Amino acid sequence: MIYEINQERLLKTLQELIETPSVVGYYPCIHQLLEELVEPYGLTVDYDRRHTAYVKISGQNPEKTVCLGAHFDTIGMVVRSIEENGWLSVRNLGGLNFHSLEGENVLVHTRFNGDYTGMVICKSHSVHVFDDARELERDFPNMKILIDEDVHDKTSVEALGIRPGDLISVDPKFVLTDTGYIKSRHIDDKASAAVLIECIRILVENGLQPKNNIWFAFPIYEEIGLGGAYVPDEVEEYLALDIGLIGHEQSGDEKKVSISGADRIAPYDWDLTSRLIELAEENDIDYVTDIYYRYGSDATAALNGGNNIVPATIGMGTMNSHGYERTHIDGIVETLKLSMAYIMDSK
């Protein structure tokens, strides 16, 4: 390998990304962090009108541009209404599972009055009080947000500046264990974003110039299927980095990188996916091939959006996806190695 991997720095970046709220469509804080992370490397961030962030590294061949994407957005909620007792009624942003959210802390991002903390509760919130506390279905009509302020009616919540349309991030609860496991709500897809930021640092630090222009893209609408739906014309290939799946009939593993042959929308590009497998073999990268059942990526969102691109997807195996997720540093490092192999090999 022509570069060193700084695992400590990679994990620090991962924690910073995870602890910066960026629920679907809420980009101000995460964009500021990205700018701070790449600025020391003499790089700036460009944005398109839908707030996908791009960091661009020019290649020896200015004629061809390939893109690696990792979405910044995380699943979360949006305020639907304020109820008479001061609780917030919400709708989902992305594939939430309320069973995993009950009792979690949240941040309500208001438009003009800053953030408020709160928690996710079930209407029948106490086994001491409600006969149906265990049985009541954990879904929208029954799940509310309790704001951590002295507010007990609609008017007092409105007076805080909270209103329908405010976005809600869930506490990510980042934990790094001595055994190298990372637990957090937002491994998806902050682990991939950390990988791309580390690729950027490796390229700059080692004076590596890829053959083609490399654009690192960070969409903010992936979890609702719109992330990569727009891709600039210059981009010929779109390699999406997103979590690999673990479970029944999946081959994913927290210590490996998954190369996906297809997702619920479409097979990924035959040649590009085959090339990624060859690169994994040539570079002794611990990988599996897989397909994803209930899953779409930025690469298939790009296809769906009518873009003229070659799509593929890779990512670290992740347990408990869209719940309190877990992966391992080894899976993140294998994903980094395959990303770098692709960047330096692109034909």
Query: Site residues (CB under 5 A) for Zn ion?
Result: 188-189, 242
The verdict on whether residue 242 carries a ligand-binding annotation is yes
The verdict on whether residue 178 carries a ligand-binding annotation is no
CA 205, CA 203: separation in Å to the nearest integer?
A: 6
Specify the residue, 188 or 263, whose C-beta has the smaller distance to Zn ion.
188
| 222 catalytically annotated | yes
Cβ 322 to Zn ion shortest distance, Å: 9
The verdict on whether residue 31 carries a ligand-binding annotation is no
Specify the residue, 242 or 290, whose C-beta has the smaller distance to Zn ion.
242
Cβ 295 to Zn ion shortest distance, Å: 8
Cβ 219 to Zn ion shortest distance, Å: 10
CA 6, CA 14: separation in Å to the nearest integer?
A: 12
Backbone φ and ψ of 199, nearest 5°: -60, -45
The verdict on whether residue 109 carries a ligand-binding annotation is no
Q: Tell me how crowded residue 73 is: count the other CB atoms within 10 A of its CB.
A: 27
Pairing verdict, β 181-184 and 325-328: antiparallel
Cβ 127 to Zn ion shortest distance, Å: 34
CA 71 to chain CA centroid, nearest Å: 5
The verdict on whether residue 223 carries a ligand-binding annotation is yes
Catalytically annotated residue among 198, 222, 237, 254: 222
Specify the residue, 188 or 334, whose C-beta has the smaller distance to Zn ion.
188
CA 202, CA 196: separation in Å to the nearest integer?
A: 10
Q: Which residues pair with 258 in a beta bridge?
A: 288, 315
Q: Assign residue 205 a region: left if phi > 0, alpha if psi is -120 to 50, beta otherwise?
A: alpha
Contact, 341 vs 257, CB < 8 A?
no
Specify the residue, 166 or 242, whose C-beta has the smaller distance to Zn ion.
242
Mark the binding-site residues, compressed into ranges.
71, 188, 223, 242, 322
Which sequence positions are flagged as catalytic?
222
Mark the binding-site residues for Zn(2+), compressed into ranges.
71, 188, 223, 242, 322
